[in-house]
A and B are shown apart, each in its own frame.
Chain A
């Protein structure tokens, strides 16, 4: 388990922790342009998880390239 792989794993696990812990976001305030917290927070997580998956993807690509380079 290299440090890069730990970061990849964390990027992929974070959305699970955030989304399955419903108690952390089951509230109305603060609202955003009139939308209760419960809704905008989850929609914000769509973007956050996208960024995290993208980071994981880039790191993974780099990791793979480094590996292949190392073998040759």
Chain B
């Protein structure tokens, strides 16, 4: 490590950091809808994100700073075994292709914000939903803490805050500032902030990796040279264990571990609340399926990144703390200014997921603990307020964790978190496909998996740690070494299935299922499914020209859009002059006419009759239409003043 502060790198880092901070605060105005005081808005960005934003958001969310530091660090430390992250991310996509669209549909139909919302609705069990919510929060907290560890690693290598002799306040000040800023814009902008910043993050990371993967091998004499040196290094005996340090290819004995880790992690990834948050914020089923076909681009990036671990060895990087290997490699190999760009990529890469994770944890708390158990009659405004506060608390908690405890504690907990979160799989994914499982059996299975996983992980020793020394252990009955999380998961499923048979035999009461089979395949445009909220400005400009369609202009003001304009721009809505209908692919849902009144600037403007399954849904659609009016009005420089309320307009007083 160079002595002192790397000034150029630091300046570049600060520049990018300031840029994303400004973006974070401005994000509140981005694609904003009328009713911003609801959890849908703050916590899911209005459920309006299209393919590309969802792609960036999911990528920004799943491939965290910690991933970028930890995966090459694992390769640096042990070689092949660390590469399991690549097959793991390959397996994720075919997996989510099958179940995420179903989750999206049922969530949109019933307004679910979290996975626990769904579990409660499906199984009619608050206990099970609480278990899922607590697991989610517990598993997310250390993950947020690890993002901070990622930022710390970068700051250390840049020479700020690293010195042992400085007092703790000066030492941790940069981290405190970074986190204060993060907390402030998440609070004010909600999910829109990380969605916008994710663009910057991914662009920077792609540039850095593209450069690193070409530039560094050239400097080191090609991949032949790199792997030859790495092979030598792995062959040396590790004084702590007496065994070779690692291997270029996993030995026979390590193959079970490799496969089970890949499979277990793949199953667990989309159980994490933050991945679900990013998923539910997308605007249609198709967005999700299309995303499963473009998300693997990130896996490729991850694979290339993992190779950096070998480059660090070949470049002769020697660090005690493996987490520092990659930042150190960048500092050694790159010119200062580009090292700054690379560090900014990692730093911002920590902010995006930390923001999404804290929002996801806050949503869980608000919906499934606060609203279910503490305050049953909370209004959407109160929900949003509580969520905002909790997201703040979660981050402060993570910060305290990192500052007061040893880093290994955070890593241990994250390891446990992965094992824990996997135990919610049967309730969630099982529930998406079948109602056969009994709610109590699921709860029992979850408890068994949690206890087994925790105890087993506690018992794993490593040369440096007595407990939580790793995530794999002998699988009982098979005798191979495998991922504890997957063993616990299998145990969980077995218990659930057996108990379901037992409980069904004794006729234990089943909970009420509020969902219907067709809910799982509903798509945007179906009755009751939210139509995308603020439409893209582009769509409006391309389609209808206002002046040429001045028919039935019943709104106040001249250049305001008419109902016709809205209908023309939306293939899902039809209007026969009197009645407006949301087109449905589902003929079994009965639609009834409901009157709604549009107000402009608080004054009644016109009434329409909306065909919908319920007055609430009619009003919801009317509000979404009002949002469209507003968006269009704003495009033409007018004040967005349109609102909607249920019932015919009161007789106008003029």
Taking Cβ atoms with an 8 Å cutoff, the residues of A that contact B are: 11-13, 15-16, 19-23, 26-28, 31, 33-36, 38-39, 42-43, 45-47, 49-50, 52-54, 56-57, 60-61, 68
Contacts and interface: CB of A to CB of B under 8 A. Distances in A.
A19 B223 CA distance: 24
B87 interface: yes
B289 A50 contact: no
Contact of A53 (B94, B222, B227, B255): B94
Contacts of A60: 289
A53 B296 contact: yes
Given A46-B296, A53-B293, A68-B585, A19 B248 contact: no
B296 A38 contact: no
B292 interface: yes
A46 B86 contact: yes
10 contacts: A12-B97, A19-B87, A19-B91, A23-B255, A34-B223, A35-B227, A36-B227, A38-B83, A43-B86, A47-B300
Interface string B198-230: 000000000000000000000000111111000
A13 to B, nearest CB: 7
Main secondary structure of the interface of A (DSSP, over half): helix
Contacts of B585: 68
A15 B98 CA distance: 14
Nearest to A42: B86
* Listed residue (A19, A28, A31) with the most chain B CB atoms within 10 angstroms of its CB: A19
A53 B97 contact: yes
A20 B93 CA distance: 15
A11 to B, nearest CB: 8
A34 B226 contact: yes
Nearest to A11: B94
Interface of B: 80, 83, 86-87, 89-91, 93-94, 97-98, 222-227, 248-252, 255-256, 258-259, 262-263, 286, 289-290, 292-294, 296-297, 299-300, 303-304, 306-307, 585
A16 B94 contact: yes
A47 B252 CA distance: 26
Contacts of B256: 22
A49 B90 contact: yes
Contacts of B299: 46
Given A39-B307, A42-B87, A57-B293, 9 more contacts: A12-B98, A28-B248, A31-B224, A34-B226, A42-B83, A43-B303, A50-B93, A50-B293, A50-B296
Contact of B303 (A26, A31, A42): A42
A35 B307 contact: yes
A50 B256 CA distance: 25
A3 to B, nearest CB: 19
A31 B251 CA distance: 18
A22 B255 contact: yes
A11 B98 CA distance: 12
10 closest A-B pairs by CB: A34-B223, A34-B224, A19-B87, A22-B255, A12-B94, A50-B296, A43-B303, A54-B293, A20-B259, A46-B299
B249 A13 contact: no
A20 B486 CA distance: 13
Main secondary structure of the interface of B (DSSP, over half): helix
A13 B263 CA distance: 13
A54 B290 CA distance: 8
Contacts of B250: 22, 26, 38
Contact of B94 (A36, A42, A52): A52
A56 B86 CA distance: 21
Contacts of A23: 252, 255
Nearest to B302: A46
A59 to B, nearest CB: 11
Contacts of A28: 248-249
A17 B316 CA distance: 37
B90 to A, nearest CB: 5
Contacts of A47: 296, 300
Contacts of A50: 93, 293-294, 296-297
B87 A36 contact: no
Nearest to B86: A42
Contacts of B297: 50
Nearest to A56: B97
Contacts of B300: 43, 46-47
A45 B227 contact: no
B90 A22 contact: no
A49 B94 contact: yes
A26 B622 CA distance: 59
B83 A49 contact: no
Contacts of A57: 97, 289-290, 292-293
A60 B251 CA distance: 39
Contact of A49 (B93, B222, B225, B258): B93
Contacts of B248: 28, 36, 38
A19 B262 contact: yes
A53 B259 contact: no
* Listed residue (A20, A38, A45, A68) with the most chain B CB atoms within 10 angstroms of its CB: A20
Given A28-B248, A42-B83, A54-B293, A16 B91 contact: yes
A67 B224 CA distance: 53
Contacts of B91: 15-16, 19
A38 B82 CA distance: 12
Nearest to A49: B90
A65 to B, nearest CB: 11
Given A19-B91, A36-B248, A46 B227 contact: no
